[in-house]
Amino acid sequence: MGPAEIKETILDILEGIAPDEDLSGLKDDVPLREQLELDSMDFLDIVMELRKRYRVQIPEDDYLELATMNSTVNYLTPLMKDLEKV
């Protein structure tokens, strides 16, 4: 999976977590929590969905890497490069 597909995956997960929000204008370099109503439990949902769908384990120390779309994709690219999008 490349960066574009990883971004699609994250957007798909966000759609489920924040179903009331319009994601079309999401800025990739601005923290997600500044653009969406996301609290810590929602954030954990992102982590859990990645674990459930792709068995990707994100250690708690790395959670800050998921701040923006860009940082998330950058962080996940090496972890997901050998995975197929589901």
Partner 1 sequence: MIANPATLRPDHERIVITGVGLAAPNGNSLPEFRDALLNGRSGVSEYEIRYVGKTLAGVCSFDELRYQKKKELRRGTRAASVGIYCANEAVKDAGLDWPNLDKSMVGIYIGVTEHGNVETENEIYELRGFDYDTKFWSHHHNPRTVANNPAGEISLNMGITGPHYTVGAACAAGNAGLIQGAQMLRLGECDVAIAGGVSESVRTFGIFASFASQGALATHSDPAKASRPFDTERNGIVVAEGGCLYILERLSDAKRRGAKIYGEVAGYAMNSDASDFVLPNPTRQAECVQLALRRARLAPEQVDIVSTHATGTSSGDVQECTALRSVFAGSEATWFNNAKSFIGHAMGAAGSLELGGNLPAFADGVCHPTINVDTLDPECALDGLVVNEAREKKRVDVILNNSFGMLGINSVVIITRI
The one among 51, 62, 77, 81 contacting partner 1 by CB under 8 A: 51
CA–CA separation, 58 vs 24, rounded Å? 26
Q: How many residues bind partner 1 (CB under 8 A)?
A: 14
Site pattern 18..47 for partner 1 (x: CB under 8 A): xxx----------------x---xx-xx--
Q: Check residue 48 for interaction with partner 1 (CB under 8 A).
A: yes
Q: In the complex, what is the shortest distance from the CB of residue 44 to partner 1, in angstroms, rounded to a whole number?
A: 5
What's 84's DSSP letter? P
User: What is residue 77's three-state secondary structure?
Assistant: helix
Residues 18, 2, 79, CA angle at the centre, nearest 5°?
80
Q: Cα-flanking dihedrals φ and ψ of residue 61, to 5°? A: -60, -20
**Residue ranges in contact with partner 1 by CB under 8 A:** 16-20, 37, 41-42, 44-45, 48, 51-52, 57
